[in-house]
Amino acid sequence: MEPNCRMAIVGGGLAGLAAANALKTFGIAAEVFEAAPALGEIGAAVNASPQAVKALRAIGLGEKVAAVGHLSPGIYTCNMQTGEFLEFNDRHKAAARFGAPYYTFHRADLLDALAGGLDHSTIHLGHRLTGIEERTDRVVLAFDNGARVEAEHVIAADGVRSVIRQALYGSDNPTYTGQMVWRSLLNGSDVPEEVMGPMGHMQWAGPGCHFIAYYIRQKKQVNIVTQEDTDKWVEEGWSTRGDPDEMRLSFPNPEPRLKQLLSLVTTCSKWGLFTRPLTRNWGRGRIQLVGDAAHAMLPNAGQGACQAFEDAYILGRWLDACRDPVKAFANFRRVRIPRVHGVQRLSLANARFKHMRDAAAQRQSVSSGQGSFHGSSDWVWGYDPVSEWDKEPAVPTAYAA
Ligand SMILES: Cc1cc2nc3c(=O)[nH]c(=O)nc-3n(C[C@H](O)[C@H](O)[C@H](O)COP(=O)(O)OP(=O)(O)OC[C@H]3O[C@@H](n4cnc5c(N)ncnc54)[C@H](O)[C@@H]3O)c2cc1C
């Protein structure tokens, strides 16, 4: 019997829907299986840096994401207690240099834009994968609603706690980093403009913590995301309800603007940051992992979703170039693993610098050019997925089409 699906994508989050758009761009039919009963995203923000915007444009989503993206002029970093200016990271200049904008999105708007590019009859909601069986000529997927799908090939985009990754490789032993995050969304009209600084995108750096606030949805909302060193153990999920008073106590003696912003928080959530060892366990044979399922990373470089968008384009190109998807998957891993490992290392290094305990040392480090509150991101943002793929040498024999 023939398998009833050629390419199955498990997970309809940012990575899965981006992959579906990429395959569509290259004329490859795919079906998406998503656990949730409706496509949706948590109420929070996500950023896309220039190279990720290039990937989104290359899979036909340029106009859709431009319509819902907010163009941040840049991040203005101050000392958390004194309000002293420390650094300005000019994103308009970066956009001009790298040839694509830097957008901030409400996550739900971005997901809608990705879904808007697809035929909704190919997205199967309410399908939570519970089991996977690899056979020589197909992969059998079992879902909690009783459905069984036989697919020729599978793209696993089922997120940080991927069922498929665990089925292939067992537990990946996440380790608590000793850092936690608070997250909140405020109405833009409730926040005095002067609190948001000259650029509408503020970062306060303090000993062992930082606090970021920026406009999204054309200033209709302010997204707050923080990070602090702590031995408090909180869950890895993104939606554990937090206590606003506890959040305020996490940032003692804040300068007046930050104090005012904190006073406006009425709801918040919190989660713990976990790391996983860098791994080459990104799939095998007929199964390819993408997005957080393959390479979950700390949020300190703002690159988790961006790397998923690069994944989508590069995977689409290889599937288009190789007749055999198994070879396309092998090429995808050959090209993507070294780059993504570099980005994962950068997000670890950024966390160390932002949380320097000594403000004077931090200032000295910035002014001498040794460190930045944004890490050295040129090699990440300056990458062009399209021209880099075009430069791929003749495919090594083992990977040939
Ligand atoms: C605080 C924070 C801030 C961030 N900021 C940024 C940023 O500014 N820029 C950036 O690039 N990245 C950022 N990221 C990272 C980014 O959000 C993730 O890397 C991205 O969401 C990964 O997409 P994904 O589709 O792989 O996983 P997810 O978004 O988690 O999607 C996985 C999907 O799979 C579905 N699913 C799960 N299990 C199953 C199953 N068994 N069967 C079927 N479906 C299943 C889920 O319902 C979900 O829809 C941030 C992350 C955090 C935590």
131 to 165, 168, 294: CA distances (angstroms): 11, 11, 18
Residues near ligand 1 with C-beta < 6 Å?
10-16, 33-36, 46-47, 127-129, 157-160, 163, 181, 225, 238, 291-293, 299, 302-306, 308
* Nearest Cα residue to atom 41 of ligand 1: 129
Are 89 and 301 in contact, with CB atoms under 8 Å apart?
Answer: no
**CATH code of residue 15:** 3.50.50.60
Helix/strand/coil percentages in the chain, nearest 5: 40, 25, 35
Shortest-distance atom of ligand 1 to CA 164:
41
Q: What is the DSSP letter of 395?
A: P
Query: Is residue 337, in this structure, part of any structural domain at all?
Result: yes
Total domains, the chain:
1
**Whole-angstrom Cα distance, residue 91 to residue 96?**
9
Average pLDDT over residues 60-87: 93
Query: Is residue 57, in this structure, part of any structural domain at all?
Result: no
When pLDDT is cut at 50, 70 and 90, the band that residue 240 belongs to is confident
21 to 135, 281, 321: CA distances (angstroms): 27, 24, 17
When pLDDT is cut at 50, 70 and 90, the band that residue 260 belongs to is very high
- Ligand 1, from 104, 292, 336: best to mutate by most atoms within 8 Å of Cβ? 292
234 to 45, 242, 270, 272, 304: CA distances (angstroms): 21, 10, 7, 5, 21
Q: To 10 degrees, the CA torsion angle through 355, 357, 359, 361? A: -100
pLDDT of residue 372: 60
**pLDDT, tens digit, for every residue of 120-173?**
999 999 999 999 999 999 999 999 999 999 999 999 999 999 999 999 999 888
pLDDT of residue 153: 98
* Distance between Cα 221 and ligand 1 center (Å): 21
Residue 96 token pair: 């001009």
CA max distance for the chain: 70
pLDDT of residue 355: 65
Buried b (16+ CB within 10 A) or exposed e, 36-57: eeebebebbbbbbbbbbbbbbb
Query: Is residue 203, in this structure, part of any structural domain at all?
Result: no
Residue 319 has pLDDT above 90, yes or no: yes
Query: Is residue 338, in this structure, part of any structural domain at all?
Result: yes
Are 255 and 80 in contact, with CB atoms under 8 Å apart?
Answer: yes
Give which of 176, 175, 156 is closest to 166, Cα–Cα. Answer: 156
* Distance between Cα 226 and ligand 1 center (Å): 18
Shortest-distance atom of ligand 1 to CA 305:
11
* Nearest Cα residue to atom 20 of ligand 1: 305
Q: Which residue has the higher pLDDT, 323 or 142?
A: 142
When pLDDT is cut at 50, 70 and 90, the band that residue 312 belongs to is very high
Burial of 146 per CB tally in 10 Å (0-12, 13-18, 19+): exposed
Residue 38 token pair: 């409706």
Query: Is residue 264, in this structure, part of any structural domain at all?
Result: no
Q: What is the DSSP letter of 189?
A: G
When pLDDT is cut at 50, 70 and 90, the band that residue 190 belongs to is very high
Shortest-distance atom of ligand 1 to CA 307:
11
Query: Is residue 375, in this structure, part of any structural domain at all?
Result: yes
What pTM was computed for the model? 0.93
Query: Is residue 90, in this structure, part of any structural domain at all?
Result: no
Residue 1 has pLDDT above 90, yes or no: no
Residue 399 has pLDDT above 70, yes or no: no
One-letter amino acid for residue 110 of the chain: L
Check the CA dihedral 142-143-146-149 and report its sign: negative
Shortest-distance atom of ligand 1 to CA 162:
38
Residue 286 token pair: 């007929």
pLDDT of residue 400: 57
Residue 319 structural domain? 5-47+104-173+277-399
Query: Is residue 216, in this structure, part of any structural domain at all?
Result: no
**pLDDT, tens digit, for every residue of 333-391?**
999 999 999 999 998 887 666 666 566 666 666 666 555 666 557 899 999 999 999 88
